[in-house]
Amino acid sequence: MQGCALWASEVLPQIRIIGVKGLPEIEPGDDLTTLIIAAAEEQGTPIDDDDVIVVTQKIVSKAEGRLVALGTVQPSSQAQQIASETGKDPRLVQVILGESQRIVRQTSGVLITQTRQGFVCANAGIDASNIGGQDHVSLLPEDPDASAATICKGIEERLGKRVAVVISDTFGRPWRLGHTNVAVGVAGMLAFVDYVGETDPQGYELKVSIMAVTDELAGAAELVMGKLSRIPVAIVRGFPYPKGEGKAQDLVRPPEQDLFR
């Protein structure tokens, strides 16, 4: 069984979520790990063993240079067609298609695709806001699990601290209004805690209780990030996360289990 009972019975279960402020405007080529370590140190909350470091996709994409200038994009006839149906910029649609394996739904103002990484979200996770130049868009990292692993490994190498890393992004949901942050990259921990086959305190077997704790960590971290505060990183401290070689890819539901294709 993965994860096992997380909280020892004698301790008070308590988690702290600490926003990391003071990171500079991120530029392509920046070494995020160094900047995150320094900012956490600077504000008096240095990274420690067993922390979960949650990093927003946006700064990861910027550091990795995953930016496209829309002015350089030549929309295909398919992109132009979809743009006219959705009311979106044909160049943006072209970029979305390039990052997608399939279109899931489209309607006026909405283009939901499954990204090359397998995530189902609006606009293939491509974001026009918050980037230093209005005709630029930022794509998801090429391989967000690898991005998470790089930061995780970098923190261990430089600080000697073993942490988990979650890269978060903001997704909508089909039947619930509003957005939540979820995990698009994971390193240093399992994606889930799996209670299947365990029994509850009354002795009954628990049925379906595979908890996507990495998504819950991403959402929890968003509460200290906000959208305007320039807090792109949070430290979640005190959560006895399931250690192991998990990845956000594990969260992608396989097509044969997808009832909403």
What residues between 81 and 110 interact with a copy of itself by CB under 8 A? 105, 107, 110
- In the complex, the smallest distance separating the C-beta of residue 30 from a copy of itself, rounded to whole angstroms, is 16
- In the complex, the smallest distance separating the C-beta of residue 138 from a copy of itself, rounded to whole angstroms, is 12
- Cα 10 to Cα 7, 86, 201: the distances in Å are 8, 55, 16
Examine residue 45 and tell whether it contacts a copy of itself (CB under 8 A).
Answer: yes
Residue 231 C-alpha from the chain's centroid: 15
- Cα 29 to Cα 67, 89, 96, 121: the distances in Å are 12, 28, 23, 27
Q: CA 233, CA 240: separation in Å to the nearest integer?
A: 19
What residues between 129 and 168 interact with a copy of itself by CB under 8 A? 129-132, 134
- In the complex, the smallest distance separating the C-beta of residue 207 from a copy of itself, rounded to whole angstroms, is 5
Neighbour-count burial for 188-213, b at 16+ CB within 10 Å, e otherwise: bbbbbbbbeeeeeeeeeeeeeeeebb
**Sign of the CA dihedral running 130, 133, 135, 136:** negative
What residues between 187 and 216 interact with a copy of itself by CB under 8 A? 191-193, 195, 198, 200-202, 204-213, 215-216
Region from 88-96, 118-126, 137-145, 159-167 binding a copy of itself, contact rule CB under 8 A: 118-126
Contact 97, 86 (CB under 8 A): no
Q: CA 107, CA 239: separation in Å to the nearest integer?
A: 41
- In the complex, the smallest distance separating the C-beta of residue 78 from a copy of itself, rounded to whole angstroms, is 20
Residues in the chain: 261
Region from 14-22, 31-39, 141-149, 154-162 binding a copy of itself, contact rule CB under 8 A: 14-22
Between 100 and 150, whose beta carbon lies closer to a copy of itself?
100
Between 77 and 175, whose beta carbon lies closer to a copy of itself?
175
Region from 30-38, 93-101, 149-157, 180-188 binding a copy of itself, contact rule CB under 8 A: 180-188
Contact 149, 201 (CB under 8 A): no
Q: CA 37, CA 17: separation in Å to the nearest integer?
A: 16
**Binds a copy of itself (CB under 8 A): choice among 29, 71, 160, 174:** 174
Query: What does the per-residue mask of binding to a copy of itself show for 218-247, with x meaning CB under 8 A?
Result: -xx-xxxxxxxxxx-------x--------
The encoded tokens of residue 169 equal: 């992004």
Query: What does the per-residue mask of binding to a copy of itself show for 46-85, with x meaning CB under 8 A?
Result: ----------------------------------------
User: How many residues bind to a copy of itself according to rule CB under 8 A?
Assistant: 84
Examine residue 217 and tell whether it contacts a copy of itself (CB under 8 A).
Answer: yes
SS3 212: coil
Examine residue 1 and tell whether it contacts a copy of itself (CB under 8 A).
Answer: no
